[in-house]
Chain A
Protein backbone atom coordinates (compact mmCIF):
# COMPACT_ATOMS: atom_id res chain seq x y z
CA UNK A 1 0.00 0.00 0.00
CA UNK A 2 2.79 2.36 0.92
CA UNK A 3 4.51 1.55 -2.34
CA UNK A 4 1.40 2.33 -4.33
CA UNK A 5 0.97 5.68 -2.60
CA UNK A 6 4.64 6.49 -3.00
CA UNK A 7 4.62 5.61 -6.69
CA UNK A 8 1.40 7.62 -7.17
CA UNK A 9 3.03 10.63 -5.57
CA UNK A 10 6.20 10.22 -7.56
CA UNK A 11 4.61 9.58 -10.94
CA UNK A 12 1.43 11.62 -10.85
CA UNK A 13 1.85 14.48 -8.41
CA UNK A 14 5.53 15.38 -8.52
CA UNK A 15 5.88 16.11 -12.27
CA UNK A 16 2.69 18.20 -12.18
CA UNK A 17 2.84 19.57 -8.65
CA UNK A 18 2.27 23.13 -9.84
CA UNK A 19 -1.10 22.15 -11.32
CA UNK A 20 -2.04 20.31 -8.12
CA UNK A 21 -1.27 23.37 -6.05
CA UNK A 22 -3.17 25.61 -8.43
CA UNK A 23 -6.24 23.37 -8.40
CA UNK A 24 -6.22 23.08 -4.60
CA UNK A 25 -5.80 26.84 -4.15
CA UNK A 26 -8.50 27.56 -6.70
CA UNK A 27 -10.91 25.18 -4.98
CA UNK A 28 -10.21 26.83 -1.62
CA UNK A 29 -11.09 30.16 -3.20
CA UNK A 30 -14.18 28.77 -4.90
CA UNK A 31 -15.37 27.13 -1.68
CA UNK A 32 -14.96 30.41 0.17
CA UNK A 33 -16.86 32.27 -2.53
CA UNK A 34 -19.73 29.75 -2.50
CA UNK A 35 -20.24 29.01 1.16
CA UNK A 36 -18.93 31.89 3.24
CA UNK A 37 -21.57 34.16 4.64
CA UNK A 38 -19.43 37.23 5.16
CA UNK A 39 -18.85 39.45 2.16
CA UNK A 40 -15.23 40.20 3.09
CA UNK A 41 -14.54 36.47 3.36
CA UNK A 42 -16.03 36.05 -0.10
CA UNK A 43 -13.62 38.72 -1.36
CA UNK A 44 -10.71 36.90 0.25
CA UNK A 45 -11.85 33.77 -1.57
CA UNK A 46 -11.92 35.71 -4.83
CA UNK A 47 -8.37 36.94 -4.20
CA UNK A 48 -7.19 33.36 -3.55
CA UNK A 49 -8.91 32.26 -6.77
CA UNK A 50 -7.10 34.96 -8.75
CA UNK A 51 -3.79 34.01 -7.17
CA UNK A 52 -4.34 30.40 -8.24
CA UNK A 53 -4.87 31.47 -11.85
CA UNK A 54 -1.72 33.59 -11.70
CA UNK A 55 0.20 30.62 -10.33
CA UNK A 56 -1.08 28.43 -13.18
CA UNK A 57 0.00 30.85 -15.89
CA UNK A 58 3.40 31.67 -14.46
CA UNK A 59 4.20 28.02 -13.80
CA UNK A 60 3.32 27.18 -17.42
CA UNK A 61 6.02 29.62 -18.54
CA UNK A 62 8.74 27.98 -16.45
CA UNK A 63 11.53 26.18 -18.29
CA UNK A 64 14.11 24.09 -16.50
CA UNK A 65 17.58 25.61 -16.91
CA UNK A 66 16.05 28.93 -17.87
CA UNK A 67 16.49 32.27 -16.18
CA UNK A 68 14.36 35.42 -15.98
CA UNK A 69 13.38 36.77 -19.40
CA UNK A 70 15.90 39.60 -19.33
CA UNK A 71 18.85 39.46 -21.68
CA UNK A 72 22.00 40.31 -19.74
CA UNK A 73 24.49 42.49 -21.56
CA UNK A 74 27.38 40.39 -20.32
CA UNK A 75 26.06 37.32 -22.08
CA UNK A 76 25.42 39.35 -25.19
CA UNK A 77 29.06 40.46 -25.38
CA UNK A 78 30.19 36.87 -25.10
CA UNK A 79 27.95 36.02 -28.00
CA UNK A 80 29.54 38.73 -30.12
CA UNK A 81 33.07 37.64 -29.25
CA UNK A 82 32.28 34.03 -30.08
CA UNK A 83 30.85 35.08 -33.38
CA UNK A 84 33.98 37.08 -34.21
CA UNK A 85 36.25 34.17 -33.32
CA UNK A 86 34.20 31.93 -35.50
CA UNK A 87 34.44 34.41 -38.33
CA UNK A 88 38.25 34.50 -38.12
CA UNK A 89 38.61 30.74 -38.07
CA UNK A 90 36.22 30.08 -40.89
CA UNK A 91 37.55 32.67 -43.33
CA UNK A 92 38.43 30.07 -45.88
CA UNK A 93 34.95 28.67 -46.04
CA UNK A 94 32.41 29.60 -48.64
CA UNK A 95 30.80 32.99 -48.02
CA UNK A 96 27.20 31.71 -47.89
CA UNK A 97 28.15 29.18 -45.24
CA UNK A 98 29.83 31.90 -43.24
CA UNK A 99 26.71 34.02 -43.33
CA UNK A 100 24.39 31.30 -42.05
CA UNK A 101 26.91 30.38 -39.36
CA UNK A 102 27.03 33.95 -38.11
CA UNK A 103 23.28 34.33 -37.90
CA UNK A 104 23.12 31.09 -35.91
CA UNK A 105 25.56 32.46 -33.41
CA UNK A 106 23.72 35.72 -33.03
CA UNK A 107 20.45 33.97 -32.38
CA UNK A 108 19.34 33.93 -28.75
CA UNK A 109 18.88 30.51 -27.23
CA UNK A 110 15.25 30.57 -26.22
CA UNK A 111 15.66 27.67 -23.81
CA UNK A 112 17.78 29.97 -21.64
CA UNK A 113 14.93 32.40 -20.96
CA UNK A 114 11.62 31.80 -19.26
CA UNK A 115 8.55 32.37 -21.38
CA UNK A 116 7.77 36.10 -21.09
CA UNK A 117 4.21 35.93 -22.39
CA UNK A 118 2.53 34.46 -19.26
CA UNK A 119 4.33 37.05 -17.14
CA UNK A 120 2.90 39.87 -19.24
CA UNK A 121 -0.59 38.41 -19.21
CA UNK A 122 -0.48 37.94 -15.46
CA UNK A 123 0.72 41.49 -14.91
CA UNK A 124 -2.58 42.47 -16.52
CA UNK A 125 -4.44 40.02 -14.29
CA UNK A 126 -2.79 41.37 -11.13
CA UNK A 127 -3.72 44.93 -12.04
CA UNK A 128 -7.30 44.03 -12.84
CA UNK A 129 -7.44 42.02 -9.61
CA UNK A 130 -6.34 45.02 -7.57
CA UNK A 131 -8.94 47.19 -9.29
CA UNK A 132 -11.79 44.76 -8.72
CA UNK A 133 -10.73 44.14 -5.13
CA UNK A 134 -10.58 47.85 -4.35
CA UNK A 135 -13.97 48.52 -5.92
CA UNK A 136 -15.50 45.51 -4.15
CA UNK A 137 -14.16 46.73 -0.80
CA UNK A 138 -15.66 50.15 -1.47
CA UNK A 139 -19.05 48.64 -2.29
CA UNK A 140 -18.97 46.41 0.78
CA UNK A 141 -18.17 49.45 2.91
CA UNK A 142 -21.24 51.10 1.44
CA UNK A 143 -23.29 47.96 2.13
CA UNK A 144 -22.08 48.00 5.71
CA UNK A 145 -23.02 51.65 5.94
CA UNK A 146 -26.62 51.08 4.88
CA UNK A 147 -27.33 47.67 6.44
CA UNK A 148 -25.06 47.72 9.45
CA UNK A 149 -23.77 44.24 8.68
CA UNK A 150 -21.72 42.34 6.16
CA UNK A 151 -23.36 38.94 6.77
CA UNK A 152 -25.21 37.88 3.68
CA UNK A 153 -28.19 36.23 5.36
CA UNK A 154 -28.83 39.24 7.59
CA UNK A 155 -28.76 41.51 4.55
CA UNK A 156 -31.21 39.21 2.75
CA UNK A 157 -33.48 39.23 5.81
CA UNK A 158 -33.55 43.00 5.74
CA UNK A 159 -34.21 43.03 2.01
CA UNK A 160 -37.27 40.78 2.31
CA UNK A 161 -40.63 42.56 2.01
CA UNK A 162 -41.64 41.45 5.50
CA UNK A 163 -38.20 42.14 6.92
CA UNK A 164 -37.01 44.72 9.37
CA UNK A 165 -37.54 47.69 7.08
Chain B
Protein backbone atom coordinates (compact mmCIF):
# COMPACT_ATOMS: atom_id res chain seq x y z
CA UNK B 1 0.00 0.00 0.00
CA UNK B 2 2.78 2.38 0.97
CA UNK B 3 4.67 1.44 -2.21
CA UNK B 4 1.72 2.10 -4.51
CA UNK B 5 1.00 5.34 -2.71
CA UNK B 6 4.58 6.49 -3.16
CA UNK B 7 4.55 5.41 -6.80
CA UNK B 8 1.37 7.29 -7.65
CA UNK B 9 2.55 10.35 -5.74
CA UNK B 10 5.86 10.36 -7.62
CA UNK B 11 4.13 9.94 -10.99
CA UNK B 12 1.61 12.71 -10.32
CA UNK B 13 4.27 14.96 -8.83
CA UNK B 14 6.65 14.56 -11.75
CA UNK B 15 3.82 15.25 -14.19
CA UNK B 16 2.93 18.41 -12.32
CA UNK B 17 6.56 19.47 -12.08
CA UNK B 18 7.10 18.90 -15.80
CA UNK B 19 4.10 21.17 -16.40
CA UNK B 20 5.58 24.01 -14.39
CA UNK B 21 7.86 25.07 -17.25
CA UNK B 22 4.79 26.39 -19.08
CA UNK B 23 3.73 28.45 -16.08
CA UNK B 24 4.54 32.16 -15.82
CA UNK B 25 7.62 33.11 -13.84
CA UNK B 26 7.50 34.19 -10.21
CA UNK B 27 6.37 37.82 -10.02
CA UNK B 28 5.61 38.08 -13.73
CA UNK B 29 3.55 41.22 -14.28
CA UNK B 30 2.37 40.15 -17.71
CA UNK B 31 1.18 36.65 -16.85
CA UNK B 32 -2.34 35.80 -18.07
CA UNK B 33 -3.70 35.91 -14.54
CA UNK B 34 -2.31 39.38 -13.88
CA UNK B 35 -3.03 40.79 -17.34
CA UNK B 36 -6.58 39.50 -17.56
CA UNK B 37 -9.45 41.94 -17.86
CA UNK B 38 -11.13 40.89 -14.61
CA UNK B 39 -8.30 41.61 -12.20
CA UNK B 40 -7.31 44.74 -14.15
CA UNK B 41 -10.87 45.98 -13.79
CA UNK B 42 -10.82 45.30 -10.06
CA UNK B 43 -7.52 47.12 -9.55
CA UNK B 44 -8.39 50.13 -11.64
CA UNK B 45 -12.05 50.65 -10.90
CA UNK B 46 -12.83 49.51 -7.37
CA UNK B 47 -11.89 52.72 -5.63
CA UNK B 48 -13.61 54.85 -8.21
CA UNK B 49 -16.81 52.82 -8.07
CA UNK B 50 -17.01 51.85 -4.41
CA UNK B 51 -14.73 54.29 -2.54
CA UNK B 52 -13.08 51.29 -0.87
CA UNK B 53 -9.27 51.29 -1.10
CA UNK B 54 -8.92 47.66 -0.05
CA UNK B 55 -9.65 45.80 -3.27
CA UNK B 56 -9.86 42.42 -1.58
CA UNK B 57 -12.69 43.56 0.68
CA UNK B 58 -14.44 45.28 -2.20
CA UNK B 59 -14.28 42.24 -4.45
CA UNK B 60 -15.20 39.90 -1.61
CA UNK B 61 -18.20 41.78 -0.28
CA UNK B 62 -19.47 43.54 -3.37
CA UNK B 63 -18.50 42.05 -6.73
CA UNK B 64 -18.51 38.49 -5.43
CA UNK B 65 -21.29 39.01 -2.91
CA UNK B 66 -23.09 35.78 -3.76
CA UNK B 67 -19.90 33.81 -3.24
CA UNK B 68 -19.32 35.34 0.17
CA UNK B 69 -22.93 34.87 1.18
CA UNK B 70 -22.85 31.15 0.52
CA UNK B 71 -19.40 30.96 2.11
CA UNK B 72 -21.00 32.27 5.27
CA UNK B 73 -23.73 29.68 4.84
CA UNK B 74 -21.04 26.99 4.52
CA UNK B 75 -19.59 28.10 7.87
CA UNK B 76 -23.06 28.05 9.40
CA UNK B 77 -23.75 24.58 8.04
CA UNK B 78 -20.41 23.35 9.37
CA UNK B 79 -21.31 24.65 12.83
CA UNK B 80 -24.76 23.07 12.67
CA UNK B 81 -23.24 19.85 11.36
CA UNK B 82 -20.78 19.62 14.23
CA UNK B 83 -23.60 20.12 16.70
CA UNK B 84 -25.70 17.50 14.92
CA UNK B 85 -22.85 14.97 14.92
CA UNK B 86 -21.41 15.53 18.38
CA UNK B 87 -23.86 17.21 20.73
CA UNK B 88 -25.34 14.96 23.39
CA UNK B 89 -27.91 16.05 25.91
CA UNK B 90 -28.71 14.79 29.35
CA UNK B 91 -26.55 12.77 31.72
CA UNK B 92 -24.58 10.18 29.86
CA UNK B 93 -22.88 7.35 31.65
CA UNK B 94 -19.60 8.29 29.99
CA UNK B 95 -18.16 10.48 32.69
CA UNK B 96 -15.27 12.60 31.52
CA UNK B 97 -12.01 10.80 32.10
CA UNK B 98 -8.53 12.25 32.11
CA UNK B 99 -9.86 15.76 31.89
CA UNK B 100 -8.67 18.71 33.84
CA UNK B 101 -11.30 20.12 36.11
CA UNK B 102 -13.20 23.22 35.24
CA UNK B 103 -11.11 25.56 37.31
CA UNK B 104 -9.11 26.53 34.21
CA UNK B 105 -5.46 27.37 34.05
CA UNK B 106 -3.15 28.69 36.74
CA UNK B 107 -3.23 32.11 38.33
CA UNK B 108 -0.60 33.63 36.06
CA UNK B 109 -2.40 32.50 32.90
CA UNK B 110 -5.70 33.77 34.26
CA UNK B 111 -4.41 37.23 35.02
CA UNK B 112 -2.54 37.49 31.74
CA UNK B 113 -5.62 36.46 29.79
CA UNK B 114 -7.85 38.88 31.63
CA UNK B 115 -5.37 41.64 30.81
CA UNK B 116 -5.06 40.95 27.09
CA UNK B 117 -8.62 39.78 26.35
CA UNK B 118 -10.15 43.28 26.04
CA UNK B 119 -7.43 44.32 23.64
CA UNK B 120 -7.89 41.20 21.52
CA UNK B 121 -11.60 41.90 21.28
CA UNK B 122 -11.07 45.59 20.55
CA UNK B 123 -8.58 44.71 17.84
CA UNK B 124 -11.02 42.18 16.39
CA UNK B 125 -13.73 44.86 16.18
CA UNK B 126 -11.20 47.21 14.59
CA UNK B 127 -10.32 44.57 12.01
CA UNK B 128 -13.99 44.14 11.15
CA UNK B 129 -14.78 47.84 11.00
CA UNK B 130 -11.56 48.95 9.31
CA UNK B 131 -11.47 46.16 6.75
CA UNK B 132 -12.17 48.66 3.97
CA UNK B 133 -8.96 50.59 4.49
CA UNK B 134 -6.50 48.07 5.86
CA UNK B 135 -6.10 44.30 5.73
CA UNK B 136 -9.06 42.75 7.43
CA UNK B 137 -12.72 42.05 7.11
CA UNK B 138 -15.53 39.98 8.52
CA UNK B 139 -13.84 36.59 8.42
CA UNK B 140 -10.58 37.71 9.97
CA UNK B 141 -12.21 39.80 12.67
CA UNK B 142 -14.75 37.10 13.37
CA UNK B 143 -12.04 34.49 13.85
CA UNK B 144 -10.19 36.83 16.23
CA UNK B 145 -13.33 37.49 18.25
CA UNK B 146 -14.04 33.78 18.40
CA UNK B 147 -10.45 33.12 19.46
CA UNK B 148 -10.86 35.57 22.33
CA UNK B 149 -13.73 33.49 23.69
CA UNK B 150 -11.70 30.32 23.17
CA UNK B 151 -8.89 31.92 25.17
CA UNK B 152 -11.37 32.75 27.91
CA UNK B 153 -12.51 29.13 27.93
CA UNK B 154 -8.93 27.88 28.10
CA UNK B 155 -7.96 30.19 30.95
CA UNK B 156 -11.09 30.28 33.08
CA UNK B 157 -12.81 27.05 32.10
CA UNK B 158 -15.61 26.45 29.66
CA UNK B 159 -18.34 27.30 32.17
CA UNK B 160 -17.04 30.85 32.51
CA UNK B 161 -16.91 31.30 28.74
CA UNK B 162 -20.38 29.83 28.38
CA UNK B 163 -21.73 32.32 30.89
CA UNK B 164 -20.63 35.03 28.42
CA UNK B 165 -21.51 33.20 25.25
CA UNK B 166 -24.03 30.46 25.91
CA UNK B 167 -24.88 27.77 23.42
CA UNK B 168 -28.25 29.30 22.64
CA UNK B 169 -26.58 32.64 22.05
CA UNK B 170 -24.02 31.16 19.65
CA UNK B 171 -26.78 29.64 17.55
CA UNK B 172 -28.75 32.88 17.57
CA UNK B 173 -25.65 34.89 16.61
CA UNK B 174 -24.79 32.50 13.79
CA UNK B 175 -28.29 32.74 12.38
CA UNK B 176 -28.51 36.51 12.86
CA UNK B 177 -25.29 36.99 10.90
CA UNK B 178 -26.73 35.20 7.89
CA UNK B 179 -30.03 37.01 8.28
CA UNK B 180 -28.17 40.35 8.19
CA UNK B 181 -26.36 39.34 5.03
CA UNK B 182 -29.40 37.95 3.21
CA UNK B 183 -31.63 40.71 4.54
CA UNK B 184 -29.31 43.31 3.10
CA UNK B 185 -29.63 41.61 -0.29
CA UNK B 186 -33.41 41.49 0.04
CA UNK B 187 -33.36 45.19 0.96
CA UNK B 188 -31.65 45.85 -2.37
CA UNK B 189 -34.44 43.85 -4.05
CA UNK B 190 -37.08 45.91 -2.27
CA UNK B 191 -35.37 49.13 -3.33
CA UNK B 192 -35.80 48.09 -6.94
CA UNK B 193 -32.51 46.57 -8.10
CA UNK B 194 -30.96 43.12 -8.17
CA UNK B 195 -30.23 41.01 -5.11
CA UNK B 196 -27.06 42.30 -3.39
CA UNK B 197 -26.74 45.23 -5.84
CA UNK B 198 -25.82 47.75 -3.16
CA UNK B 199 -26.12 50.78 -5.43
CA UNK B 200 -29.89 50.46 -4.97
CA UNK B 201 -29.49 51.77 -1.43
CA UNK B 202 -28.15 55.23 -2.26
CA UNK B 203 -31.51 56.80 -1.42
CA UNK B 204 -31.45 55.58 2.20
CA UNK B 205 -27.71 55.66 2.89
CA UNK B 206 -25.78 58.94 2.91
CA UNK B 207 -23.02 59.85 0.50
CA UNK B 208 -24.14 58.81 -2.96
CA UNK B 209 -23.95 55.53 -4.83
CA UNK B 210 -20.28 54.83 -4.07
CA UNK B 211 -20.61 55.40 -0.33
CA UNK B 212 -23.80 53.32 -0.30
CA UNK B 213 -21.78 50.41 -1.64
CA UNK B 214 -19.04 51.07 0.92
CA UNK B 215 -21.49 51.18 3.84
CA UNK B 216 -23.28 48.08 2.59
CA UNK B 217 -19.98 46.22 2.59
CA UNK B 218 -19.55 47.14 6.25
CA UNK B 219 -23.04 45.84 7.00
CA UNK B 220 -22.49 42.47 5.37
CA UNK B 221 -19.05 42.16 6.96
CA UNK B 222 -20.66 42.61 10.36
CA UNK B 223 -23.05 39.81 9.50
CA UNK B 224 -20.17 37.58 8.43
CA UNK B 225 -18.23 38.41 11.60
CA UNK B 226 -21.20 37.46 13.82
CA UNK B 227 -21.59 34.09 12.12
CA UNK B 228 -17.86 33.31 12.15
CA UNK B 229 -17.48 34.28 15.82
CA UNK B 230 -20.37 32.12 16.90
CA UNK B 231 -19.40 29.11 14.81
CA UNK B 232 -15.74 29.26 15.86
CA UNK B 233 -16.65 29.19 19.53
CA UNK B 234 -19.32 26.56 18.97
CA UNK B 235 -16.82 24.35 17.10
CA UNK B 236 -14.27 24.67 19.89
CA UNK B 237 -16.67 24.00 22.72
CA UNK B 238 -18.21 20.97 21.02
CA UNK B 239 -14.94 19.46 19.89
CA UNK B 240 -13.17 19.95 23.19
CA UNK B 241 -15.92 18.33 25.27
CA UNK B 242 -17.11 15.66 22.81
CA UNK B 243 -20.43 17.45 22.57
CA UNK B 244 -21.23 17.44 26.28
CA UNK B 245 -20.39 21.10 26.83
CA UNK B 246 -19.66 20.45 30.48
CA UNK B 247 -15.94 20.56 31.03
CA UNK B 248 -13.44 22.03 28.66
CA UNK B 249 -9.85 21.18 28.00
**A139 to B84 alpha-carbon distance, docked (Å):** 10
Q: In the docked arrangement, what's the CA distance between A73 and B68, Å?
A: 27
**In the complex, which range does the number of interface residues on chain B fall in?**
35 or more
Contact between B1 and A35, CB atoms less than 8 A apart:
yes
Known contacts A35-B5, A135-B85; A115/B34 CB under 8 A: yes
Whether the Cβ atoms of B74 and A20 lie closer than 8 Å is no
Which of B19-27, B154-162, B205-213 has 4 or more CB atoms under 8 Å from chain A? B19-27
In the complex, A4 has a CB within 8 A of chain B: no
Residue of B nearest to A72 (CB): B53
> Nearest Cβ distance between residue A148 and chain B, in whole angstroms?
12
CA distance A31 to B214 in the complex (A): 45
Proximity string of chain A (96-132) to chain B, C-beta cutoff 8 Å, 1 when within and 0 when not: 0000000000011011010111111001101110111
Residue contact A138 to B34, C-beta cutoff 8 Å: no
Contact A30 B33 (CB under 8 A): no
Q: Which of B41-49, B119-127, B183-191 contacts A (4 or more CB under 8 A)?
A: B41-49
Contact A60 B33 (CB under 8 A): yes
A142 x B56 contact (CB < 8 A): no
Cross-chain contact B56 with A31 (CB below 8 angstroms): no
Bound-state CA distance A24–B12 (Å) is: 11
**In whole angstroms, what is the CA distance A66 to B239 when docked?**
42
Whole-angstrom CA separation of A116 from B28 in the bound complex: 15
Q: Do A127 and B55 form a contact, CB below 8 Å, given A15-B25, A35-B5, A60-B33? A: no
The 20 sampled A-B contact pairs (Cβ below 8 Å) are A16-B26, A19-B17, A20-B17, A26-B13, A60-B31, A62-B27, A65-B29, A69-B43, A69-B55, A71-B54, A73-B53, A108-B44, A116-B42, A116-B59, A123-B139, A124-B68, A127-B74, A132-B78, A135-B81, A142-B85
